[in-house]
A and B are shown apart, each in its own frame.
Chain A
């Protein structure tokens, strides 16, 4: 065990190499946020991550399949959020990535979804040159907190409106994607404060650009994917949704 750890430590040490080119990657990249916002976003994100750890500990005792579900959705969020999908939109041929936090928020709960997103973002910042370590708090806020909670509440509202399971999932996926990019826009918009710019105008401009380009199309794709995943889970093992409190009674057919 210790030998494996040593080998990994050596590999990670070798990865500590810098190049001359600046790397522009997904999420908010290293160096974009000033120190005061780095500290602020970390302070905002950490309580959510802590509550997420507590929820995992509590729920794994209640539901035996909860930990495999966390593993599956954790890996899914990680893969989703570093998976550039080619989309042809107003900006021509471009790529964009979904977030996956809407799906994890429905199936794991919003706090655990924040934890899962935080782990995925940390791994991406460490090994994939995506995001950043100093901007981790900001990225957790946008993708983890805003993405998870907006997706979760969108799902609950859609259920109250008695929409079918697919459309509930669709709305959750779509809304979580929109709010993730709204979060990113807010974080970038805050950079103009103290420089004579308008925060609201900057945020609206960035969010508008996001939506008019590939992300506007991709949020629909994410909604469809989340909808189909929920239908799959319901058809294959409705007991999971019952345990998670997403459906009331598995003997009563749910409209899909």
Chain B
């Protein structure tokens, strides 16, 4: 499932990247476009090759990361607030509305970013660029 998710994420990132770069590549000349298509196909096949490689290593321990573990790029509020709250006998508990499940939080964050970005962009245009 993780591998599928990984492949899906790679696909989405490559897809969006291709959307961004396609026009500029086409503008560069006729030769670059077929090369770009070949590159995209190659990139899409790479995760499949890696996935096959990983299935052979069955004896390797599966490492999963939970929210409780401290790792690289852990939020300061996690490592400091959570740590001291536990030390003083008031450990954090689940939020009443828990969106931190699977990719739901990613969805909510993306939606919040899009909506926030739209509001900022719309109002900035209204305030700074439209004539009164």
- The answer to whether B92 touches A30 (Cβ under 8 A) is yes
* Residue numbers in A under 8 Å from B78 (CB-CB): 24-26
Q: Among the listed B73, B91, B116, which residue makes an inter-chain contact with A31, where contact means beta carbons less than 8 Å apart? A: B91
CB-CB under 8 A for A188 and B92, given A21-B66, A78-B116: no
* Residue numbers in A under 8 Å from B68 (CB-CB): 21-22, 24
> What total count of A-B pairs have CB within 8 Å?
188
Q: Is B113 an interface residue (CB 8 A)?
A: yes
* Residue numbers in B under 8 Å from A237 (CB-CB): 127-128
- The answer to whether B93 touches A24 (Cβ under 8 A) is no
CB-CB under 8 A for A19 and B108, given A30-B95, A68-B127: no
CB-CB under 8 A for A26 and B77, given A18-B98, A72-B127: yes
Given A30-B96, A91-B79, list of 10 further CB < 8 A pairs?
A: A17-B98, A17-B101, A24-B78, A24-B92, A30-B95, A31-B93, A75-B115, A93-B72, A94-B74, A128-B112
15 A-B residue pairs with Cβ-Cβ distance under 8 Å, sorted by A, are A19-B101, A21-B68, A26-B77, A65-B126, A69-B127, A71-B119, A72-B119, A94-B72, A95-B74, A95-B76, A128-B109, A191-B85, A192-B88, A195-B89, A214-B76
Q: Which residues of A contact B (CB under 8 A)?
A: 12, 15-19, 21-34, 64-65, 68-69, 71-72, 74-76, 78-79, 82, 84, 86, 91-97, 123, 125-129, 132-133, 184, 188, 191-192, 195, 197, 202, 206, 209-210, 213-215, 233, 236-237, 240
Q: Which residues of B contact A (CB under 8 A)?
A: 66-68, 72-82, 84-85, 88-101, 104-105, 108-109, 112-113, 115-117, 119-120, 123-124, 126-128, 132
